[in-house]
Amino acid sequence: MLIFEILPDATDIKDDILSSIPESEVVSVDSLDGNDLIQILVPLAAVIMPVISQIVQKYFDNSCVTIKFDGIEISALGYEKAMKILKEVLAQRGAAKNNDTSN
Amino acid sequence: MALFSAVANQTMDCQLTIQQIKSASVFPEMVSAHGKHTLYWDLQYWEFFQRFLLELSYLLENSAYGDRFTERVLAICYDYLSLKLLHIPELAYCIQVNRERKFSAQDKTVAAASLGTLELIGSNYESGVYYSRFLVFYHEFFHLYYKLNPTAKVEDSKRLNKLAELYCGGDWLTDLANDEMSSLLMEGFQTLLHSEPDKLLEEASCDYRALIETISMQRKLTNKDQIFAHELQEIHDAFHMNQTFLSYLTNISSCWEILYKTYQRVDSYEELLQRSQPYFDKAAHMAIIRNSIIPDFLDKLNIKKYDMPSYISILDKPYIKAAIHKVGDQMVDLDFMLYAIEESIRLSRLPHYDPFELKNIVLRNAGYRTAAE
């Protein structure tokens, strides 16, 4: 699952991501340490990768947004590296699915 | 947990689930999605807090324990940091390695044998553990309460705002011998008064409600009409201990993360300091507000409300303050931070660097099972 963590008052960013990726789910988190945020959970699927790529490119350098995959902050790695990781994960999943089907 | 669920259901008409977990997120969190609300009661935080309380209890009994206290609490802070910065696995790993080098002999859990010495360390540990759970639950609960009842949030914030104005306008600070502390408190109150109601005043309101409700809960549980002075002292002490611990942890992780991210964007040491110092100052300012200003303000409110003769926090003893400050200073020691950051960047540039594998290594070292196991 790809997660966009955004500050609660960044409503424009939230609306933009939700309208671009309707498959997303929104979760609000109030943490004891005061780091309250909105998490937008995006399923990683090949069919929406072009849109995901656009959104990641748009926001990977935005201080109001942190992009995480499997707990790793991929937005800090830079756009190219972040997308490389996501595409590799998708490819691995595709290969695993093909193996299951053939077995 | 059953008690907390009952409180939630009685106070509000909403579905609140309380789930005990243990995670690298560390802090208890109130999570809302699709109209459902879950309080994730993260046992990792309580493990760290109990270790801290134990060390603090030893220090309260024996002022000569200072150096040992510093060493053991630093180990707790490193353990915390390596989990909290797990999203930057190379940094988390370097912190963990350095922790093992410096403090390999330190226990990571509150050993059962240590608890056998509770008779020696008095009731600070027991009451701290007991009351802090109520305080944290109510604090998180009122964040949700305010979300679902925005009018109540506005009313509570206004009430606290008026009281803070009264506090600033009155002579409540004249008993302070230290002019510097008096100025610091006044500056903090001004920040509180003029803060955005959605953040700082909400935190103060949740803390206030947490104190009041914990006191009320204690009266109900003991079936008494009034609260005794020693119980009030214990509740406020637990509040101070939790706030101090919490604000130190959040301050530390903010500083480390800011420095790491700024380091990657600048070309010189001078530029690094120039760009990160304002964030350090803001983090320190927030920490002072949460662990000094707000608790002091709420102490004075409750002294009047419950007719206490006076209240002096057990953390106000000079040697306790000095020991806690020493931990804070060492955790944000710039030389060590830069060393760890440079090591982590070197690690991330190795040909076979895999952030996911490194994350799993850090988790396994911290005693977690990973998805692969």
Determine the residue type at B60.
L
Q: Confirm whether B137 is domain-assigned.
A: yes
Closest partner CB to B140 (pick from A30, A70, A77): A30
Confidence of residue B361 (pLDDT cuts 50, 70, 90): very high
Q: Confirm whether B14 is domain-assigned.
A: no
Q: Confirm whether B33 is domain-assigned.
A: no
For the segment A26-45, the average pLDDT, to the nearest whole number, is: 90
For the segment B218-246, the average pLDDT, to the nearest whole number, is: 85
Residue B176 has pLDDT above 60, yes or no: no
Looking at residue B113, its pLDDT comes to 47
Which structural domain, as residue segments, surrounds residue B324?
A: 43-365
| Chain-chain contact of A28 with B139 (C-beta, under 8 angstroms) | no
Minimal-distance CA residue of chain A relative to B144: A30
Chain B residues with beta carbon closer than 8 angstroms to that of A40? none
Chain A residues with beta carbon closer than 8 angstroms to that of B86? 71
B40-to-A63, B5, B119, B203, B308 alpha-carbon distances in Å: 27, 12, 32, 19, 35
Looking at residue A87, its pLDDT comes to 87
Q: How far off is chain B from A102, nearest CA to CA, in Å?
A: 23
| Chain-chain contact of B198 with A9 (C-beta, under 8 angstroms) | yes
Residues counted in chain B = 373
Looking at residue B177, its pLDDT comes to 46
Q: Confirm whether B60 is domain-assigned.
A: yes
Residue B112 has pLDDT above 50, yes or no: no
- What is the predicted ipTM? 0.88
| Chain-chain contact of B140 with A68 (C-beta, under 8 angstroms) | no
Confidence of residue A5 (pLDDT cuts 50, 70, 90): very high
Calpha distance B370→B348 (Å, rounded):
21
Orientation of helix A49-59 relative to helix A79-102, angle to 10°: 160
The contacts of residue B32 (CB under 8 Å, 6+ apart) are A27, A28, A30, B38, B144, B147
Q: Confirm whether B26 is domain-assigned.
A: no
Residues of A with CB under 8 A from a CB of B: 8-9, 25-36, 66, 68, 70-73, 76-77
Highest mean pLDDT among A11-20, A41-50, A75-84: A11-20
Share of chain B above pLDDT 90, in %: 33
Interchain CB contacts (distance < 8 Å): A and B:
66
| Chain-chain contact of A33 with B261 (C-beta, under 8 angstroms) | no
Q: Confirm whether B37 is domain-assigned.
A: no
Residue A4 has pLDDT above 90, yes or no: yes
Closest partner CB to B355 (pick from A32, A35, A72): A72
Share of chain A above pLDDT 90, in %: 33
Q: Confirm whether B336 is domain-assigned.
A: yes
Helix (H) or strand (E) holding B222: helix B200-222
Chain B residues with beta carbon closer than 8 angstroms to that of A26? 33
Number of domains in chain B: 1
Least confident of A33-47, B28-42, B242-256, B276-290: B276-290
Residue B94 has pLDDT above 90, yes or no: yes
The contacts of residue A67 (CB under 8 Å, 6+ apart) are A2, A3, A4, A5, A56, A59, A60, A73, A74, A75, A82
Number of domains in chain A: 1
- Tell me the Ramachandran region of residue A29: left when phi exceeds 0, alpha when psi lies from -120 to 50, beta otherwise: beta
Contact between residue B344 and residue B93 where contact means Cβ atoms under 8 Å apart: yes
Minimal-distance CA residue of chain B relative to A27: B33
- Interfacial B residues in 77-116 facing A (CB < 8 Å): 86-89
Calpha distance B30→A12 (Å, rounded):
23
Q: DSSP letter string over chain A?
A: -EEEEE-TT-HHHHHHHHHH-TT-EEEEEEETTS--EEEEEE---GGGHHHHHHHHHHHTT-TTEEEEETTEEGGGG-HHHHHHHHHHHHHHHHHHHHHHHH-
Q: How far off is chain A from B177, nearest CA to CA, in Å?
A: 32
Contact between residue B48 and residue B79 where contact means Cβ atoms under 8 Å apart: yes
Q: Confirm whether B13 is domain-assigned.
A: no
For the segment B187-192, the average pLDDT, to the nearest whole number, is: 63
DSSP B316: G
| Chain-chain contact of B29 with A25 (C-beta, under 8 angstroms) | no
| Chain-chain contact of A33 with B246 (C-beta, under 8 angstroms) | yes
Minimal-distance CA residue of chain B relative to A28: B32
Determine the residue type at B84.
K
| Chain-chain contact of B290 with A34 (C-beta, under 8 angstroms) | yes
Minimal-distance CA residue of chain B relative to A67: B87
Q: How far off is chain B from A31, nearest CA to CA, in Å?
A: 4
Q: What is the pLDDT of residues A39-53, one digit of tens each?
A: 999 988 888 888 989
> Helix, strand, or coil here: B344?
helix
List the single best residue of B21, B25, B29 to mutate versus A (max A Cβ within 10 A).
Answer: B29
Residue A2 φ then ψ, to 5°: -90, 135
- Interfacial B residues in 135-154 facing A (CB < 8 Å): 136, 139-140, 143-144, 147
- A58 vs B204 pLDDT, higher one: A58
Q: How far off is chain A from B230, nearest CA to CA, in Å?
A: 27
Q: CATH number for the domain including A85? A: 3.30.70
